[in-house]
A and B are shown apart, each in its own frame.
Chain A
């Protein structure tokens, strides 16, 4: 069974870069599918951040496009999210996902 696990700092200072990694087990990232990031501010709904296809094509939410980069490391079977110039509005639980599976999520708080 495919499993996804997010990792990264739980606290990021304003104006700095949020960096998260999603380790995938049970499936080779390079074999297919898309791999994505979604976030959920505390007590609120879900927002797509972006996706990357196994081909390397990326799609970013226009609301975040200038600050987001999603990349894949096939040697480690993982993919990553970088979000620059963060503010308190970026505080959220960040989920990584494939079409069928989601990670457990990781809370990232932006605060000095």
Chain B
């Protein structure tokens, strides 16, 4: 099975400052159809996860453009250009290339 490893697991942030989360997979996430099925989810306290980004870098509808995704192969990054108060929560990467699909352990974003 593919193992997804996120770092850091805890990310203290400052309002208005950038933040970055890394996600590594134990094998390439390039699918035989040429796509890379790497998603990012945000889970705010007490809420269900919400997908922010799919196929590495495509933002879902309604997701602020301060969120961006990048990467290829086995190394991926989620960046928040300027952290806002509503961004507090746990962020998960998820691979949808190899079954069983798998999430990273989660990165808890909280204010310093």
Residues of A at the B interface (CB closer than 8 Å) are: 45-48, 51, 59, 61-63, 95, 99-100, 102-105
Contact = CB atoms under 8 A, between A and B. Distances in A.
A45 B48 contact: no
B99 A59 contact: yes
A103 B104 CA distance: 20
A112 B11 CA distance: 39
Contact of B48 (A48, A51, A63, A103): A103
* Most chain B beta-carbon neighbours within 10 Å: one of A46, A47, A62, A105: A46
A45 B49 CA distance: 11
Nearest to B39: A99
B50 interface: yes
A48 B49 contact: no
B62 to A, nearest CB: 11
Contacts, number: 35
Interface residues of B, number: 18
A105 B48 contact: yes
A62 B94 CA distance: 17
Chain A interface main SS type? loop
B48 A104 contact: yes
Contacts of A100: 51, 60
Interface string B66-102: 0000000000000000000000000010100001111
B49 A95 contact: yes
B100 A45 contact: no
Given A47-B103, A48-B102, A63-B100, 14 more contacts: A45-B92, A45-B105, A45-B106, A46-B41, A46-B103, A46-B106, A48-B103, A59-B99, A99-B54, A100-B51, A102-B48, A102-B49, A102-B51, A103-B48
Contact of A48 (B41, B51, B60, B100): B100
